Amino acid sequence: MKNSIIAPSVLAADFANLQRDIEMINNSEADWFHIDIMDGVFVPNISFGMPVLEAITKHAKKTIDVHLMIVDPDRYIKTFKSLGADILTVHYEACTHLHRSLQAIKAEGMKAGVALNPHTNVALLEDVINDIDMVCLMSVNPGFGGQSFIENTYKKIKQLKEMINRNNAATLIEIDGGVTNQNALQLIEAGADVLVAGSYVFKASDPIATIADLKKITTI
Ligand code: DX5
Ligand code: ZN
């Protein structure tokens, strides 16, 4: 049996009721918290920063998966460790020395993730795949929640899975953007391990039931 990992994205939470929404995830079948950090430079949006992340990790009782959409992320690796990140994902497109960034993340005791924009070819990871704990395939252009899923992602999942298997790597595949109950099963069947879901969970009338449903349909 394949156990999918469901990671609700806090970006879609009600920030005026953040503790309530964090407790909702704590009490749900969700596996991880997905936390989007945007700097207004790498992506055309600013989400939230360190004080808010600190408030989230104080209450969150599950794995903290931090997705950095910022330029030059090496500057903040130690800071994100101190704020409670368990997995720290940097963008391929934002790292001049990706191998060095991955080593620095692991030296802090975190799992190291690499995110790829929709246009970035998975083959570019061939020489570092054994150093990566998780690849986050962006299935929308990063910066905003609530966008439509890009169908080309299925092809990228298959290419990446083939590379992971060929290198005997243990790398997880995470899909981020436009995930719903309409594509969740197909993504897992294609080779994905982790599904991030923001607006689909938080805009639902019953987010707990929506998470349970995502978990159920992706347990194969
Ligand atoms: C987009 C973020 C995503 C976003 C997903 O830049 O990285 O994590 O929150 O939101 P939905 O699920 O609404 O597409
Ligand atoms: Zn994200």
Strands (E), 77-132: 87-91, 111-116
Q: What pLDDT was estimated at residue 111?
A: 99
| 176 is annotated as an active-site residue | yes
- Which helix (H) or strand (E) element contains residue 23? helix 18-26
Q: How many domains does the chain have?
A: 1
pLDDT in the model for residue 81:
98
CB neighbour burial string for 99-132, b if at least 16 within 10 angstroms, e if fewer? eebbebbeeeebbbbbbbbeebebeebeebbebb
ipTM of the complex model: 0.99
Q: How many whole angstroms from 163 Cα to the centroid of ligand 1?
A: 25
Residue 91 marked in a binding site: no
Residues 199-216 pLDDT 10s: 999 999 999 999 999 999
| CATH code, domain carrying 175 | 3.20.20.70
How far is Cα 138 from Cα 38, in angstroms, rounded to an integer? 14
Please pick, among 21, 36, 65, 193, the residue that the annotation labels catalytic.
Answer: 36
Atom of ligand 1 nearest to the CA of 198: 12
Cα dihedral across residues 164, 167, 168, 170: positive or negative: negative
pTM metric for this prediction = 0.98
The C-alpha atoms of residue 153 and residue 212 are separated, in whole angstroms, by: 24
pLDDT confidence of residue 59: 98
**Range 7-23 average pLDDT:** 98
Which tens digits make up the pLDDT trace of 128-158? 999 999 999 999 999 999 999 999 999 999 9
Q: What is the mean pLDDT of the chain?
A: 98
Q: Which of 2-6, 83-87, 144-148, 204-208 has the lowest mean pLDDT?
A: 2-6
Q: Judge whether residue 34 has pLDDT over 80.
A: yes
Active site residue 36: yes
Start-to-end CA distance of the chain, whole Å, equals 6
Ligand 1, pocket-test mutation among 9, 33, 41, 201, most atoms within 8 A of CB: 9
Edge-to-edge strands, sheet with 63-69: 5-8, 194-197, 172-176, 134-138, 111-116, 87-91, 63-69, 32-38
CB 137 within 8 A of CB 153: yes
- What is the span of the domain harbouring residue 12? 5-217
